[in-house]
């Protein structure tokens, strides 16, 4: 009898609402997916810092994550999500480096449900499988503003200059051409690729282009910028909003410079 009663108690505990709530707190379980990201605790939030190395050579921009120019560079990993915890959690890494003329970035995304409908620059590429680099070249982004470079997996870009004094300046076709870009996937991609797909993207941003829109503090040892790295896919079947430096805003938004991390140039 005692064994029978204990069995009933165990069954009741397993099916109780409290047990269900604990299971839900662990987040969505999607077969074949690995939990890679977490919600940023609040408050306080410690700003992330990334140490940006000087690029030794002017490498060919070819989206090769494993080439010699990038091997010694430590990547950032996007470890946080915004909004509801996404069922699909791609592994997203990025590396940055600089020289006297360019800021270099390369991305590697271990993805699924990859979409790339947009074919022209300045379209809303955030709705596709997209990586985004928001940054201010020196100073406080809440005072001086910031740039945002959003690039789909197919290399299509949206470039914004939310900086003081740039209201009348627009990015031209020549400006986009100056941001030399290589991408491993070719677009358009529609319908989406549902199978596991690793894609890479590489570009270099001319410092002179940024100076068209704002006064900048050129990278050199001791200089710091503020920035964040993002990944999104608004229109994909499994949307997500991921970030490097933690953001504690409940609603997904990348235009929150107070959460930008720190780029420390070496």
Predicted local distance difference test score (pLDDT) of residue 47 = 76
Label residue 41 by pLDDT band (50, 70, 90): low
Predicted local distance difference test score (pLDDT) of residue 147 = 96
Label residue 79 by pLDDT band (50, 70, 90): very high
Among 189, 81, 213, 195, CA closest to 125: 189
Q: What contacts 81, CB < 8 A, 6 or more positions away?
A: 37, 38, 39, 89, 240, 241, 242, 243
Which tops the pLDDT comparison, 152 or 27? 152
- 21 domain residue, yes or no: no
191: preceding bond cis by omega (within 30 degrees): yes
Percent of the chain with pLDDT over 90: 72
H/E stretch holding 177: helix 173-178
Boundaries of domain holding 104: 35-265
Domain count, the chain: 1
Q: Six-digit token pair at 197?
A: 């797909």
Q: Is it the case that residue 177 has pLDDT exceeding 60?
A: yes
- 13 domain residue, yes or no: no
Label residue 31 by pLDDT band (50, 70, 90): low
Q: Six-digit token pair at 138?
A: 């020196």
Q: Is it the case that residue 78 has pLDDT exceeding 80?
A: yes
**pTM for the complete prediction?**
0.86
Q: What is the CATH number of the domain that holds 209?
A: 2.60.40.1190
- 9 domain residue, yes or no: no
- 73 domain residue, yes or no: yes
Q: Is it the case that residue 46 has pLDDT exceeding 80?
A: no
Coil, strand or helix: which one is 134? Answer: strand
- 56 domain residue, yes or no: yes
Q: Is it the case that residue 167 has pLDDT exceeding 80?
A: no
Predicted local distance difference test score (pLDDT) of residue 81 = 93
- 165 domain residue, yes or no: yes
Predicted local distance difference test score (pLDDT) of residue 182 = 98
- 25 domain residue, yes or no: no
Q: Is it the case that residue 222 has pLDDT exceeding 80?
A: yes
Which tops the pLDDT comparison, 169 or 239? 239
- 7 domain residue, yes or no: no
Q: What confidence tens digit (pLDDT) does each residue in 112-124 have?
A: 999 999 999 999 9
Across residues 231-251, what is the average pLDDT?
94
Q: What confidence tens digit (pLDDT) does each residue in 120-158 have?
A: 999 999 999 999 999 999 888 888 899 999 999 999 999
Label residue 7 by pLDDT band (50, 70, 90): very low
The secondary structure of 75-134 as a DSSP string is: PEE--EE-SSPPS---EEEEEEEE-SSEEEEEEEEEESSEEE---STTS-GGGSSEEEEE
* Mean pLDDT over the full length of the chain: 87
Q: Residue with structure tokens 């100076």?
A: 211
């Amino acid at each position: 009898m005692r064994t029978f009663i204990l069995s009933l108690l165990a069954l009741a505990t397993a099916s109780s609402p409290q047990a269900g709530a604990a299971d839900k707190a662990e987040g969505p379980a999607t077969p074949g997916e690995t939990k890679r990201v977490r919600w940023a605790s609040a408050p306080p939030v410690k700003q992330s810092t990334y140490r940006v190395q000087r690029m030794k050579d002017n490498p060919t921009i070819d989206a090769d994550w494993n080439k010699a120019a990038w091997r010694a560079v430590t990547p950032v990993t996007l470890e946080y999500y915004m909004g509801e915890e996404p069922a699909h959690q791609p592994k997203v890494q990025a590396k940055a480096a600089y020289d006297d003329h360019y800021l270099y970035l390369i991305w590697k995304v271990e993805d699924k449900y990859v979409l790339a409908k947009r074919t022209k620059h300045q379209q809303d590429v955030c709705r596709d499988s997209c990586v985004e680099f928001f940054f201010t070249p020196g100073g406080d982004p809440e005072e001086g503003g910031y740039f945002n470079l959003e690039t789909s997996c197919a290399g299509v870009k949206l470039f914004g200059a939310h900086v003081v004094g740039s209201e009348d300046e627009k990015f031209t076709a020549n400006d986009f051409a100056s941001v030399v870009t290589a991408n491993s996937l070719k677009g358009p991609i529609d319908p989406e690729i549902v199978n596991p797909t690793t894609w890479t993207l590489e570009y270099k941003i001319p410092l002179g282009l940024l100076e068209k829109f704002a006064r900048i503090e050129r990278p050199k040892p001791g200089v710091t910028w503020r920035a964040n790295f993002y990944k999104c896919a608004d229109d994909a079947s499994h949307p997500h909003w991921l970030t490097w430096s933690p953001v504690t805003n409940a609603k997904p938004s990348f235009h929150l410079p107070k959460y930008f991390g720190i780029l420390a140039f070496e």
